[in-house]
Amino acid sequence: MTAGHDLLITGACAVWTGLRGAEARLAGGQDIRIRAGRIAATGHLSPEPGERVLDARGGVVMPGWVNTHHHLFQSLLKGIPEGLDLDLMGWLSAVPVRWRRGFDQEHTLRLAARVGLVELLLSGCTTVSDHQYHLWPGMPWDPSAAVFDEAERLGVRMVLARGGQTVSRMVDTTPSPQVQPETLDQLLTGLARDVQRFHDPAPDAMRRVVCAPTTPTWSVLPDELDVIAREARALGVQLHSHLSETVDYVRYCREVHACTPLEFVERHGWVGPDVWYAHMVHLSPAEVQRCAETGTGIAHCPQSNGRLGSGVAPLVAALAAGVPVSLAVDGAASNEAADMLSEAHACWLIHRALHGAGALPVADVIHVGTAGGARVLGLDAVGTLRPGQAADLVIYDLDEPAHFGLHDPAVAPVVSGRGRARAVLVGGRVVVEDGAIPGLDLAELRAQAAAEVAALKTRLA
Ligand SMILES: [Zn+2]
């Protein structure tokens, strides 16, 4: 990893800011000056003495993507045949719940996290929120420390959403020690310990901790939701979970709680500008409005929702209503392309397919995937490319045949879903250089992943 305090990025074809409308792209000069990890200036700039110049000629620059919902451990559970054609409930039983028990040693989680983070980093993603629910009572190793350490080694900004459950999920039919629930006290103690060790409230924090029981409906008791929200807020951390992913999810809440999932969580204090939910596929117009009124955020996961046949979240309506909306890849076991560029491409296409070609401009997709994500995560100094902001950005090369013949290079990464990250910076540090992660042997990582998949199969046989 190269630490670069004084940098000048020059000659890009186009620079996206992460903002919407007229401010979406830099006008009047495409150079970017970086000082002490922050963007110092943009415009027509000449190199200064002692400044390292990063050549962006032929490339497109934009803020690094902010992925607001992931399950990094699933990066070794891609394309499992038994779950490939199942919807959410069947897939949960066949894939993550069944295979979780194979993650009985730190090495496996670390390797999975590394694979997922490398994929994201090379796609231009600079901030990742990992919903880590692989926790069990008496766990002999420390998964939070492992995930933070893997992120730090790669230079990625990490928001660890500490998951977990106090009741067994109904899909878990053959429990093993690795899928046993925690008690409420264990869950809260574990959260407080993680907050104390890792949480940084700074607007450009490299490490954040979030309170995130796996689902509010099935993973904890309703009364516990109130306690958990109160404790998390007292610790100064945000709340996150899965909500309204499928028709079954909504039906369950209606039958058991006589309300919608959003009404259910609101009863227990789980809405507000410090709360965001993954999916939110099945929201009524009134619920979209309620999210806007309360500032409750959404992690939109179009590829995972497509893969599992769950539906399409009302992103366009939510964006228009002022809901904090963001983009996320979800786990790689339900999205074998767990990179932010293909996610943005899918997002761009699917809402136009539903609502017409004018429904979602490229600039809005970039805004949702960058500034939108930073807003949802409360990282106010991240997600936009403006003077004073953290220097988290990606330079895309447009050197694939898909990019030959372009009239406006700026739109290329999102409209084609392709783009090689020539360089990626996080807080001004060059973490991808010449299309590669310095010090990382991709062939070796591939071999390690293949060996671990074989070992997982043996352990579960
Ligand atoms: Zn998820």
Order the strands of the 393-397 sheet from edge to edge: 14-15, 59-63, 393-397, 420-426, 429-433
b (16+ CB within 10 A) / e for 8-19: bbbebbbbbbbb
Q: What is the pLDDT of residues 282-297, one digit of tens each?
A: 999 999 999 999 999 9
- Number of C-beta neighbours around residue 356 at 10 A: 10
CB-based contact 132:147 (threshold 8 Å): yes
Q: How many angstroms separate the alpha carbon of residue 116 from the centre of ligand 1? A: 14
**Token pair listed for 122:** 């090379």
Query: CA dist 232 to 209, 236, 270, Å?
Result: 10, 6, 11
Could you tell me which residues come within 8 angstroms of residue 258 by beta carbon, excluding any fewer than 6 positions away? none
- Position 179 scores a pLDDT of 77
Å from CA of 322 to ligand 1 middle? 23
Query: Distance from the CA of 380 to the center of ligand 1, in angstroms?
Result: 24
| DSSP strand pairing (125-132 vs 239-243) | unpaired
Rounded to the nearest angstrom, the distance between the alpha carbon of 278 and the centre of ligand 1 is 6
Backbone angles phi, psi at 7, to 5 degrees: -130, 150
Q: Coil, helix or strand for 117?
A: helix
Using DSSP, state whether 74 is helix, strand or coil.
helix
- Residue 71 CA, ligand 1 centroid: distance in Å: 6
84: helix, strand or coil: coil
List Cα–Cα distances, 109 to 14, 120, 260, 350, in angstroms. Answer: 38, 16, 35, 32
Q: How many whole angstroms from 299 Cα to the centroid of ligand 1?
A: 9
CB 297 within 8 A of CB 276: yes
Residue-wise pLDDT for 143-152, tens only, equals 999 999 999 9
Burial 424-461 (b: 16+ CB within 10 A, else e): bbbbbbbbbbeeebeebeeeeeeebbeebbeebeeeee
Say how many Å lie between the CA of residue 132 and the centre of ligand 1.
Answer: 9
Q: Compute, in angstroms, the gap from residue 250 CA to the centroid of ligand 1.
A: 17
Over range 16-43, report the average pLDDT. Answer: 95
Q: Phi/psi at 272 (nearest 5 deg)?
A: 135, 170
Ligand 1 center to 50 CA (angstroms): 45
> Is pLDDT of 230 > 60?
yes
Q: Tokens 């992690």 map to which residue? A: 299
Instruction: Say how many Å lie between the CA of residue 177 and the centre of ligand 1.
Output: 22
* Predicted local distance difference test score (pLDDT) of residue 24: 97
Q: What is the pLDDT of residue 425?
A: 98
Chain segment 324-344, per-residue pLDDT in tens: 999 999 999 999 999 999 999
- Residues ≥6 apart with Cβ < 8 Å to 163: 131, 132, 133, 134, 135, 212, 213, 214, 219
* CA of residue 260 to ligand 1 center, whole Å: 20
Looking at the chain, the whole-number percentage of residues with pLDDT higher than 90 is: 91
The residue assigned the tokens 């994500």 is 373
Q: Report yes or no on whether pTM surpasses 0.85.
A: yes
What SS3 state is found at 155?
coil
pLDDT in tens, 71-124: 999 999 999 999 999 999 999 999 998 998 899 899 999 999 999 999 999 999
Gap from CA of 313 to ligand 1 centroid (Å) = 14
User: What is the band of 403 on the pLDDT scale with cuts at 50, 70, 90?
Assistant: very high
> CA nearest 302: which of 342, 242, 362, 275?
342
Place of tokens 């993507």: 65
What dihedral angle (degrees, nearest 10) is formed by the CA atoms of 179, 246, 306, 97? Answer: 10
Radius of gyration for the alpha carbons in the chain, expressed in angstroms and rounded: 21
The contacts of residue 366 (CB under 8 Å, 6+ apart) are: 16, 18, 24, 62, 63, 344, 414
Distance 187 CA to ligand 1 centre (A): 19
Give me ligand 1 centre to Cα 70, in Å.
6
pLDDT recorded at residue 29: 80
40 near 387, Cβ under 8 Å?
yes
- CA of 57 relative to ligand 1 center, distance in Å: 38
Hey, what domains does the chain have and what are their CATH numbers? Answer: 7-63+381-433 (2.30.40.10), 65-377 (3.20.20.140)
pLDDT digits (tens, 9 = 90+) for 161-199: 999 899 976 555 566 777 789 999 999 999 999 999 999
CA of 298 to the centre of ligand 1 (A): 12
Tell how far the Cα of 398 is from the centroid of ligand 1, in angstroms.
Answer: 32
- Ligand 1 centroid–CA 308 distance in Å is 12
CA of 214 to the centre of ligand 1 (A): 8
295 Cα–ligand 1 center, Å:
21
| φ and ψ at residue 141, rounded to 5 degrees | -140, 170
